[in-house]
Amino acid sequence: MPLMLMAFMAQIIVIAIIVVILKKILDRMLIDLAISLFEYNASGQSPSGPITITTHKRLKSKYQAAIVKAAQKHSWPLDQIQYKIDKKIYGGMIIRTDKRIFDCSLKDRLRQALPGHFR
């Protein structure tokens, strides 16, 4: 019996590790998607007002550099970029301009998949 219990505990540990790894991969993919959407869809906007970048944790410098590059591509003033941390989005990124919102947060994806369960 103890051997079965140990095997069960080992399976739980492996599952937990897999979930953590998958969440990190999903987080990176959502951040990349948000930056790509901003880069390709912000071209029709006149660069005015702030760009607010919301993430669930501090943004890595490589992502900040990608955002700056995309903003420069559209002649957006770099002093208008604001970074905000909101743990309630669970992962991913939300990019808000004065006219558009690029919501690639994990919370938004869960809300779309499970309507009525996330507010």
36 in any annotated domain: yes
Q: What is the CA radius of gyration of the chain?
A: 18
Look at the chain and report how many structural domains it folds into. 1
| Residue 118 domain flag | no
Domain-located, residue 73:
yes
Write out the residue range of the structural domain in which residue 12 sits: 2-113
List beta partners, residue 104. Answer: 93
Task: From first to last of the 119 residues of the chain, give the pLDDT tens digit.
Answer: 588 899 999 999 999 999 999 999 999 999 999 999 998 887 666 777 889 999 999 999 999 999 999 988 888 888 999 999 999 999 999 999 888 899 999 999 989 988 887 66
Q: Would you say residue 119 lies in a domain?
A: no
Query: What span, in angstroms and rounded, lies between the C-alpha atoms of 28 and 91?
Result: 9
